[in-house]
């Protein structure tokens, strides 16, 4: 039989002390039994990985592998996070009767983790609106504002593999927390150094179960945003295939499509049942072709017009449309977002709704095509840092002065209207379907619309490279890559001179030719962008949550006609290849 001392030959003192605390502290017997079993079986790597650090409460909350340990998602790490958030709410709203909303997705343990969260909030005297069953992240955002809550939490790990779960914290505007609250909440959570500090015994009198009554209000608000109900009525038999990929989308997407007026929606049965094991896919991520394979197969069988797929917490949506060969082609987030912006601005213009006070939003790494389209309609477009919380903050800042129509980011997240303050795949599914109905009503397919958009505004093509650099040396390597780009920025990329360098960490834009600088009026973030004379844009951005650095490429060329599409596409692909070579990424 092994002992703690001889099992942990590679562990540092902090790891040993943390394990000892879990073995002797106020943790349940099942947890202690698992730790003791690992010790007896000599599972040193398992012990070290589970206890070598505390699962970090970052600016978006918690995310990690589920299991026993300080570095895992479990009752105790969630309890400590919730206690810290509860303490911060009390400090921030000392004279208010505090209220929060809680939702969860279809992941394993999500209902249990949501109950733990509700118990800790209620044990702290906070009123809890708690969804009776799984609900989407955007509905949680809506619910916070609907009930006038001070905060909210959704238990989800988005599109991560099945071993993961997460805890996303929201503020009273229905958006994920931003400065100064994000850092302040983190500090408050870090003060909870022991599970003895956590109030786990919930007060059932303060927990109110909610469900269909909130769904009804949310759906009604979304339907009121529809701009082409007549086109939908004429094209109500538009063939739509929808898959929730075993997630929460099944709860509301079919119903919202029905309420919008669509009568021919086919759900992919093999993926309709919520299941945290995601048995039919490798990753439940609508960005992955494999995740949409069953939906595309069904769409091919029934000759559908459109494929829609939502991720587990239904805040992101992927789509597939038919090309001229009759094959279903997946669109990337930049293409879908651009089409959605173009459709909404067309529809608003046709209905004479544009007054000059409307705006659209995108993130700095999302296609410049959205800016081009917005300008053509005389609509102001704003750039924000990466992350929908910044889009939400802008909507809040402009409330009552300018009207938000639509916005999005390249990672498959879009928002129509301001009823929700996070990316919303429920609403996006409805408006993408409306967009398809509008196109069909004009005798067009979405694919033809895509080409028409490129002819009118320019053919924009994007590419993303994500480099994983694990461990301490990997983090240092990423840091050095950014330092090198700052100190020795490229002068030419793909044969075109670099005109501007945007350094968001220093909040400065520098004209490479003249040396003239301009201030960037956005929060600091470690991102660099290089804009060339021919309009190519390269962005370098280290991930804040993973050991990765991402390079985003955006190139564009005029497209004279649909007949030239393939030739121009080859030209753009070649340009992207050369950009990678010039940056020594290939």
**Which residues are designated catalytic?**
158
Give the DSSP H or E segment for 508: strand 508-511
Beta-ladder partners of 556: 460
Q: Which two tokens stand for residue 9?
A: 């030959």
Q: How many CA atoms lie within 13 A of 83 on its CB side?
A: 19
Distance (Å, rounded) from C-alpha 421 to C-alpha 101?
14
Question: Cα separations (Å) of 368 from 338, 372, 555?
Answer: 9, 7, 9
Distance (Å, rounded) from C-alpha 586 to C-alpha 584?
6
Could you tell me what percentage of the chain is helix, strand and coil, using 3-state DSSP and rounding each to the nearest 5?
A: 40, 20, 35
Q: How many C-beta atoms lie closer than 10 Å to residue 573's C-beta?
A: 13
Distance (Å, rounded) from C-alpha 543 to C-alpha 441?
42
Do the Cβ atoms of 250 and 309 come closer than 8 Å?
no
Nearest partner of 150 among 183, 101, 221, judged by Cα: 101
Distance (Å, rounded) from C-alpha 6 to C-alpha 4?
6
418 contacts: CB under 8 Å, gap ≥ 6: 395, 399, 404
Q: Which two tokens stand for residue 449?
A: 């619309």
- Expressed in angstroms, the distance from the first to the final Cα of the chain is 51
Distance (Å, rounded) from C-alpha 558 to C-alpha 43?
60
Q: How many CA atoms lie within 13 A of 463 on its CB side?
A: 17
Distance (Å, rounded) from C-alpha 416 to C-alpha 425?
10
């Amino acid at each position: 039989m092994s002992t703690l001392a001889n099992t942990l030959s590679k562990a540092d003192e902090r790891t040993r002390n943390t394990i000892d605390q879990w073995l002797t502290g106020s943790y349940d017997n099942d947890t202690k039994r698992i730790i003791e079993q690992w010790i007896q079986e000599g599972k040193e790597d398992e012990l070290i990985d589970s206890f070598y650090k505390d699962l970090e409460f970052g600016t978006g909350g918690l995310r990690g592998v589920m299991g026993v340990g300080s570095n895992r998602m479990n009752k105790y790490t969630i309890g400590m996070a919730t206690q810290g958030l509860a303490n911060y709410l009390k400090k921030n709203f000392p004279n208010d009767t505090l209220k929060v909303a809680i939702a969860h997705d279809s992941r394993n343990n999500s209902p249990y983790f949501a109950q733990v969260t509700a118990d800790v909030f209620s044990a702290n005297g906070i009123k809890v609106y708690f969804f009776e069953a799984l609900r989407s992240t955007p509905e949680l955002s809506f619910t916070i504002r609907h009930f006038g809550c001070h905060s909210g939490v959704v238990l989800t790990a988005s599109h991560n593999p099945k071993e993961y779960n997460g805890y996303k914290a929201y503020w009273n505007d229905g958006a994920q927390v931003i400065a100064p609250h994000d850092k302040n909440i983190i500090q408050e959570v870090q003060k909870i150094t022991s599970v003895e500090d956590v109030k786990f015994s919930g007060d059932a009198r303060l927990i109110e179960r909610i469900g269909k009554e909130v769904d009804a209000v949310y759906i009604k608000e979304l339907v009121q945003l529809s701009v082409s109900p007549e086109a939908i009525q004429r094209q109500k038999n538009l063939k739509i295939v929808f898959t929730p990929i075993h997630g929460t989308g099944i709860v509301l997407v079919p119903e919202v499509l029905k309420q919008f007026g669509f009568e021919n929606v086919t759900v992919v049965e093999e993926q309709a049942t919520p299941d945290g094991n995601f048995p039919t896919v490798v990753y439940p991520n609508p960005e992955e072709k494999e995740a949409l394979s069953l939906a595309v197969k069904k769409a091919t069988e029934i000759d559908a017009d459109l494929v829609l797929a939502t991720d587990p917490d239904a805040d992101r949506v992927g789509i597939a449309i038919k090309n001229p060969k009759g094959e279903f082609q997946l669109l990337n987030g930049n293409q879908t977002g651009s089409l959605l912006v173009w459709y909404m601005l067309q529809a608003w213009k046709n209905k004479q709704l544009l007054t000059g006070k409307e705006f659209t939003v995108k993130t700095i790494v999302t296609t410049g095509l959205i800016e081009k389209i917005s300008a053509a309609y005389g609509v102001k477009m704003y750039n924000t840092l990466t992350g929908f919380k910044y889009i939400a903050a802008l909507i809040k800042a402009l409330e009552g002065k300018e009207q938000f129509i639509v916005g999005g980011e390249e990672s498959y997240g879009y928002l129509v209207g301001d009823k929700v303050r996070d990316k919303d795949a429920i609403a996006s599914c409805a408006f993408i379907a409306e967009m398809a109905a509008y196109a069909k009503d004009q005798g067009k397919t979405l694919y033809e619309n895509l080409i028409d958009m490129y002819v009118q505004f320019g053919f924009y093509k994007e590419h993303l490279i994500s480099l994983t650099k694990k461990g301490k040396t990997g983090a240092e390597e990423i840091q050095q890559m950014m330092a090198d780009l700052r100190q020795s920025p490229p002068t030419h990329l793909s044969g075109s001179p670099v005109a501007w360098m945007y350094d968001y960490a220093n909040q400065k834009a520098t004209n490479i030719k003249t040396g003239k600088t301009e201030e960037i009026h956005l929060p600091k973030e470690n991102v660099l962008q290089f804009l060339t004379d021919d309009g190519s844009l390269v962005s370098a951005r280290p991930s804040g949550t993973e050991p990765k650095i991402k390079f985003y490429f955006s190139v564009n060329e005029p497209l004279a006609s649909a007949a030239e599409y393939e030739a121009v596409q080859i030209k753009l692909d070649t340009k992207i290849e050369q950009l990678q070579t010039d940056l020594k990424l290939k």
